[in-house]
Structure 1
């Protein structure tokens, strides 16, 4: 991974090795910078990875190239030992207004099925490091699905969430019916999917889709602050905690409790667990080494 200075921030560019390891859909744009996203490190200690979707004329519509670049950036941040959390955002007007319909319009069933269309979008949900979505403006269709792939959603006051695929003669294809139902319950999810209606930021918070709502101009900085809090903890233990919480959505209560117990016991094999408890007893701040 190459690192370039851009203002006061660092611009990350994936290495050839990182590119070679990606699913064979389409390589990231060549050159020193990404084409569809802005990638930086933020926070006082440069320990928060930052990805901004950057297709303003298309309201950050999620074309295939953009999603491959997001995957590249996530791979780079996963490999960066300094990064403890990642923030994904768009613009004040749109987080992402949906998938790029022009790209999908003429696809056939055979192409979609044989190529497992959209499968590589799931990379966001498989990152071990915590990912925060900072959603301003439209998060519709694929944009709503992208936000839901993240671990935490912060919403700007004017944010709008929706799955309007039904209006295009199709259904969500990147987890919309599954993650939305788990987040807000069957009735509201069914209403949104079957009507294409949107919910605003306050409804998203009340229904459990978003955890906090902030003024538009404060949203990104608050998301970065959350990332800094997370990054201050042990990255190793954070990954275990994330795995345990995600297990609650995929396992029965008994199986989830067993997973949690195994992960809890596993923390006792780490230096960070020992340091954290020792620091507490000694009434000092813990110094985690991610070991």
Structure 2
């Protein structure tokens, strides 16, 4: 078995977080702990984009069921709260674009992590499932509600209640997967690099406005726009891009993330 649960490369503007726990990248307690630690490090020093990917023949075959053995309802509630607080919320709160690359089987916790990311790319052989029904559970890291947001509540209930596996093409049609690529790792790295070279503060503002819509609808999002968007006029990126546009036209600006 690999000595790693995750690997994290923060050497450039694009941070790469890789699930690396052979043979099937099962989410055991050590994997959860590694993700919590990695995301804490990214929160403390955010990159300009994050790519979440995996090594091996599966993105993840799901959660190691040993994690659930002997849990009381109180214990389970505390576990889910820790995973929301330590994994899902930090991913969504990162002030940069987050891309998820799924090259193969992506089950349960890994699929829920994907649904917390901004953009999900998949390879043609990727398959996805929230299969917690096999142990009498419902997905509890935000999967049903985030799937409902992307695909509609009817599709979310179908996917969760049947516990079936769905291919990348189907989930692309549903709006869960943003795009399918033959070489998804290369495509995801290219997209993350492109986003990292963009106006990072503006990307963070986009995430903040969308988060406001998710929590309170269009009216709430409208209410935060003046402050969130207005603050961008103090950034070097906006000031430089406006000056570049006026002097040289469209598409000549470069961005530093400040």
Q: TM-score, normalised by structure 1?
A: 0.80
User: Taking CA–CA contacts closer than 8 Å with sequence separation of 6 or more, which of the two structures ends up with the larger relative contact order?
Assistant: 2
Does the Cα contact within 8 Å between 1:118 and 1:173 map onto a contact in 2? no
Identify the range of structure 1 (236-245 vs 185-194) with the bigger mean alpha-carbon deviation.
236-245
Does the Cα contact within 8 Å between 2:20 and 2:56 map onto a contact in 1? no
Q: Which consecutive residues of structure 2, in runs of 5 or more, have no partner in the other structure? A: none
In structure 1, C-alpha distance between the alignment counterparts of 2:78 and 2:44, rounded to whole Å: 31
Query: Which of 228, 234, 240 in structure 2 is aligned with 1:269?
Result: 234
Partner of 2:196: 231
- Distance 1:205-1:114 versus aligned 2 partners, 3 A rule: closer
Query: Which of 43, 49, 68 in structure 1 is aligned with 2:15?
Result: 49
Per the TM alignment, residue 244 of structure 1 is displaced from its structure 2 partner at its CA by 1.6
Partner of 1:134: 101
CA offsets 1:175-225 (integer angstroms, 9 cap, x no match): 01110111111111111111101210001111000111011xx21111111
SS at match of 1:103: helix
- Distance 1:113-1:79 versus aligned 2 partners, 3 A rule: closer
SS at match of 1:89: strand
Q: 1:88 and 2:52 equivalent?
A: yes
Q: Summarize the alignment of residues 50-65 of structure 1 with structure 2, pairs less than 5 Å apart.
A: 50-57=16-23, 59-65=24-30
Identify the range of structure 1 (98-107 vs 157-166) with the bigger mean alpha-carbon deviation.
98-107
In structure 2, C-alpha distance between the alignment counterparts of 1:79 and 1:234, rounded to whole Å: 20
CA offsets 1:150-194 (integer angstroms, 9 cap, x no match): 111001111111111112111111001110111111111111111
In structure 1, C-alpha distance between the alignment counterparts of 2:129 and 2:177, rounded to whole Å: 13
CA RMSD of aligned residues (A): 2.0
Q: TM-score, normalised by structure 2?
A: 0.89
- Distance 1:286-1:117 versus aligned 2 partners, 3 A rule: closer
Per the TM alignment, residue 73 of structure 1 is displaced from its structure 2 partner at its CA by 2.4
- Distance 1:272-1:184 versus aligned 2 partners, 3 A rule: same
CA offsets 1:215-248 (integer angstroms, 9 cap, x no match): 1xx2111111111111112322221122122333
- Distance 1:272-1:262 versus aligned 2 partners, 3 A rule: same
Q: 1:222 and 2:187 equivalent?
A: yes
SS at match of 1:118: helix
In structure 1, C-alpha distance between the alignment counterparts of 2:216 and 2:253, rounded to whole Å: 33
Does the Cα contact within 8 Å between 1:272 and 1:290 map onto a contact in 2? yes
- Distance 1:117-1:273 versus aligned 2 partners, 3 A rule: closer
The structure in which a higher percent of residues are helix is 2
Q: Which consecutive residues of structure 1, in runs of 5 or more, have no partner in the other structure? A: 1-33
In structure 2, C-alpha distance between the alignment counterparts of 1:235 and 1:152, rounded to whole Å: 15
In structure 2, C-alpha distance between the alignment counterparts of 1:157 and 1:114, rounded to whole Å: 37
Does the Cα contact within 8 Å between 2:95 and 2:201 map onto a contact in 1? no
